[in-house]
Amino acid sequence: MSSKESTSKSKLRLLVDTSFLLPAMGIETEKEVMEAIKHFRMAEIHYLEVSILEAMWRIIKVVPADKLDRVREGIEAITETYKQVNPHPQAYMDAYKLYHEGHRDYIDNLLYAASQKLHLPLLTADREFIDFLKEKGHSTRNITTPDKIKRARTAF
């Protein structure tokens, strides 16, 4: 095995929620999200295409047409730098179940279910979602938060 392969295999692999894609597109997010992004260079970052769609729903509301070049450049950077993954078909069904259990953000639900099926930790800053999962008895072992990334940065 080459040293490049062994380095790649030892990197932390993460599936990120939409809030971690927004800064690339010129949208400010919480400080803890921005701090976690600083450590992405030492990790293998994965995203779902639907997260770009979700980001665009927000961008449509806040970004004027004359600033769309930044958005396009951000999307290009995401698609060239991060790895797109596709949810397992069962993840869509599991997300549906979470929706009907009371969490009304289907994208969050799909990210969570996809992270389980793909065996990729989900990086999210959404404490309400984490609390919902715990309250409903769902495992949160596949979830990591920005504060955990910051503490683990020496393990990269």
- pLDDT value at 10 more than 60: yes
Q: How confident is the model at residue 132 (pLDDT cuts 50, 70, 90)?
A: very high
| Mean predicted confidence (pLDDT) in 102-120 | 98
Name all domains of the chain by residue range, CATH numbers in brackets: 3-155 (3.40.50.1010)
**Cα 44 from Cα 82, distance rounded (Å):** 7
CB 87 within 8 A of CB 109: no
Please tell me whether residue 123 adopts helix, strand or coil conformation. Answer: strand
Residue with tokens 């397992």: 88
Alpha helices in the chain (DSSP H): 3-10, 31-37, 49-62, 68-81, 89-101, 106-118, 127-135, 146-152
| Mean predicted confidence (pLDDT) in 31-59 | 96
**Cα 56 from Cα 52, distance rounded (Å):** 6
| Model pLDDT for residues 64-88, shown as the tens digit of each residue | 999 999 999 999 999 999 999 999 9
Cross-strand bridge partners of residue 44: 13
* pTM as predicted: 0.90
CB 112 within 8 A of CB 98: yes
